[in-house]
Amino acid sequence: MTTLLSLRNLVVGLRHGHQTSPIVRGVSLDVKPGERVGVVGESGSGKTLTMLSVLRLLASPPLDILEGEILLDGEDLTSASEHRLRQVRGSTIAMVYQDPMTSLNPLLHVGYQIVEALRAHDVDTPQARDKARDALRQVGLADPERVERSYPHELSGGMIQRVMIAMALAASPRLLIADEPTTALDVTIQQQILDLVLDLQDTTSMAVLWVTHDLGVVARLVDRVVVMYAGRIVEDAPTSELFRRPSHPYTAALLASLPGTQHTHRSLLHQIGGSPPDPTRLDRGCPFRPRCSFAVEQCAHDEPPLLVRGASRAACWREPDQWQT
Ligand SMILES: Nc1ncnc2c1ncn2[C@@H]1O[C@H](COP(=O)(O)OP(=O)(O)O)[C@@H](O)[C@H]1O
Ligand code: SF4
Ligand SMILES: [Mg+2]
């Protein structure tokens, strides 16, 4: 099958003073049409910067794409014009953010904002109104007319997040990027939003990149999981495979720290001690080494590339058999 989105060796740099340090350090990732991919990793691992790069929305300076390609149907977005990028944003690729309040204008009615967003993509006004209303219904908002007439502050967090998803869906994007869209919501509302996205995935053929620090959340949602650590992908695996048999010690540690799991790795890795490294100040060798119980001599010298491990790929020098029990 053809690839919808392909990141090839994406490097994002952070400028500080006269220096530039890579903080997304060579991310390669393919998303096929209709595919659902989870992007998981602790806070600070580079998930958001990777996603913002796709839409060319990095705050530049201090952030910049230093290397790599972002191919959308084979077209490289790293060299696309601002005009072209505006066409792509919202119509081909839509993004829902962690803090939706910041993406809505507090002074304008919600309905007006959805219609304006659609009109930016050449949908005429009457058609935009219809689409907006359909989208609000589609995300389970019982009284779309009332929601349209409301200001953002008159709606609850869960309703706002539904509005943002409606706005993203209204233009029928081919790829939805959801960057921790449920993190700020309470557990019950989170569950409702997740169920909603599951339903929508079944009824549309859009691809989804679902970004979260919570591995538990993606289990039901995605076909494939990409695990990020210190600005790199350290494991890329089919979801069932990743849960059954993680190929990277970091993934195993994330699984072991999930509440309520009776995971086999629990005895080995109770909790990941320490915290993730600052990607601008990495030592030589594997970035996970200070927190890894299985490190060997080589880990101190060379950073492992992604190596094939059955149906998965993992950036670890050691075969899973060597450290799994
Ligand atoms: N605007 C910025 N200026 C400086 N550093 C940033 C900026 N945005 C992100 N970073 C740093 O880049 C790293 C990756 O951040 P981010 O992509 O937001 O991680 P994640 O989404 O996985 O939590 C972190 O170390 C973060 O502190
Ligand atoms: S390469 Fe070495 S330090 Fe890094 S995760 Fe694998 S075993 Fe641990
Ligand atoms: Mg983030």
The answer on 294 and 248 residing in a single domain is yes
Minimum CA distance residue for ligand 2 atom 7:
295
* Final residue belonging to a domain, choices 201, 222, 243: 222
Structure tokens at 154: 């008159």
pLDDT digit string, tens, across residues 107-145 = 999 999 989 888 877 778 898 899 888 889 888 888 999
Instruction: Count structural domains, the chain.
Output: 2
Same domain? 67 vs 180? yes
Residues with CB under 6 A from ligand 2: 249, 286, 288-289, 292, 294-295, 299, 304, 316-318
Q: Whose CA is nearest to atom 6 of ligand 2?
A: 316
In angstroms, rounded to a whole number, what is the distance separating the alpha carbons of residues 12 and 68? Answer: 9
Rounded-to-integer distance, Cα 21 and Cα 15, Å:
6
Residues 174 and 80 placed together within one structural domain of the fold: yes
pLDDT tens-digit readout, 205-263: 889 999 998 888 888 889 999 999 999 999 999 999 999 999 999 999 999 888 765 55
Ligand closest to Cα of 24 equals 1
Answer yes or no: are the C-beta atoms of 4 and 175 closer than 8 Å.
yes
Whole-prediction pTM value? 0.92
pLDDT tens digits along 12-39: 999 998 999 999 999 999 999 999 999 9
Best of 254, 283, 317, 323 for a ligand 2 pocket test (most atoms within 8 Å of beta carbon):
317
Query: How far apart (Å, rounded) are the C-alpha atoms in residues 228 and 24?
Result: 10
pLDDT of residue 227: 98
Q: Which domain holds residue 317?
A: 228-323
**pLDDT at position 51, please?**
96
Share of the chain above pLDDT 90, in %: 58
Residue 259 has a pLDDT of: 78
Pair 191, 253 in one domain: no
Angle subtended at Cα 233 by Cα 98 and Cα 55, rounded to the nearest 5 degrees: 45
- For the CA of 49, the closest atom of ligand 1 is 17
Asked which of 155, 189, 222 is the last residue of a domain, the reply is 222
| Among 178, 198, 222, residue at a domain's last position | 222
170 CA → ligand 1 middle, Å:
30
Instruction: List ligand 1's pocket residues with C-beta within 6 A.
Output: 14, 23, 41, 43-49, 59, 62-63, 279
Let me know whether 217 and 232 are in one domain.
no
Reported in sequence order, the residue ranges of 122-181 that DSSP labels E, i.e. its strands, are: 175-179
CATH of the domain at 107: 3.40.50.300
- 3-state SS class at 123: coil
Q: Are residues 271 and 171 in the same domain?
A: no
Task: Identify the burial level of 309 via C-beta atoms within 10 angstroms of its C-beta, where 0-12 means exposed, 13-18 middle and 19 or more buried.
Answer: buried
Cβ burial, residue 54 (10 Å; 0-12/13-18/19+) = buried
* Confidence band for 171, pLDDT divided at 50, 70 and 90: confident
Ligand 1 atom 9 nearest Cα: 49
Ligand 2, atom 3: closest residue by C-alpha? 289
